[in-house]
Structure 1
Amino acid sequence: METNIQTSPNRSAARTARKSKSSVPLFLAVWVLLIGCGVIGSVWYTNHLKAKLTKDISVQTARQITAMQQDYDTQLKQMQTQFSGELIKVQSKVDALNELLQFTKDNTNSKTDNSNKLFSQLNEVKKKLNELQKSLDVLK
């Protein structure tokens, strides 16, 4: 019986030594596998977040561009309306001055200082009308 007792401890010591020797590579393989999975998972998650952020930023940018374009169109229409109103006013003044000038020409035989004043006023009004027209064209 003593022989059996002595043999058993030797066998269990040999088994323990073999288990410890084979468990180290297994342990390292499991750690390498876990680290690899962690790296792959983090790369996948980073790419997923990157795609999501890119999409969100694109949507936000599109909304802002649309809002700015609508605001620009509204302002442009308001300015066109204002310039059209001013052009109509200036045109009516030019027409009134033309009528007054024609009336003065018909009533006088020679050129007087009044007609010179009317011509200069008429020229000034025409210059302003041209400037307003150019401004309206620039806005369009």
Structure 2
Amino acid sequence: MRQSAIEDVYPDTYPKTPPRKKTRSALILYFIVWIVLIGAGVAGAKAYSDRIQSQVSADLERQTASQISVMQQDYDSRLTKLENGYKEQLTRMEGKIQALNELLTFTKDNADSKMDNSNKLYTQLAEVKKQLSELKKTLDVLK
């Protein structure tokens, strides 16, 4: 049997070779599809990365804000505690100063030649006033 007789009986068995143009265009189409798929993969990865980055940034921002809030509350409570302590000390000092003033007045009225005691009391009064002014300055700095 000759080949053409076989082709007549089984026409699909021996396919004819396609022209070169179809092969080239198919190859070009194949590469274009692969390039598009790779580009889509890169774009998808970039979009996913950007979304994850924004989520992490938002979470970090929320955590930072809550930590700052806690620190602010702690700072405010400590400042209030210190301020109340200084006010209490100022009140006690003012009471001591008042008592010393009364004692000085009493001593001044009763002592003619007891200038030594009066000088000591004035010195103590000056020291107490100095401490009071230092406490007031410290309180002003804390405010």
Same fold (TM over 0.5): yes
Distance 1:64 1:29 in 2: 52
The answer to whether the aligner puts 1:89 opposite 2:92 as a matched pair is yes
Amino acid at match of 1:61: T
Larger helix proportion, structure 1 or 2?
1
- Alignment partner, residue 76 of structure 1: 79
Deviation at 1:17, TM superposition (A): 5.9
Which residue in 2 is equivalent to 1:49? 52
Please give the alpha-carbon distance, in whole angstroms, between the structure 2 residues aligned to 1:48 and 1:113: 84
Shift of residue 16, structure 1, vs aligned partner: 8.2
Between the aligned residues of both structures, percent identity stands at 45
Structure 2 letter corresponding to 1:36: G
1:23 aligns with 2:26: yes
Q: TM-score, normalised by structure 2?
A: 0.86
Match of 1:35 in 2: 38
- Selected match of 2:116 from 91, 113, 117: 113
Please, what is the CA RMSD of the aligned residues? 2.3
Residue 41 of structure 1 aligns with an amino acid whose one-letter code is: G
* Structure with bigger RCO (C-alpha 8 Å, 6+ apart): 1
Number of residue equivalences: 139
SS in structure 1 at match of 2:18: helix
Gaps of 5+ in 2: none
Q: In 2, Cα distance between the equivalents of 1:22 and 1:78?
A: 83
- 2:1 corresponds to 1:3: no
Q: CA deviation at 1:3?
A: 2.3
Give me the whole-angstrom Cα distance separating, in 2, the residues matched to 1:104 and 1:28.
111
Q: Deviations over 1:76-115 (max 9, x none)?
A: 1100111111111111111111010000000023461110
Q: Distance in 2 between matches of 1:132 and 1:5?
A: 118
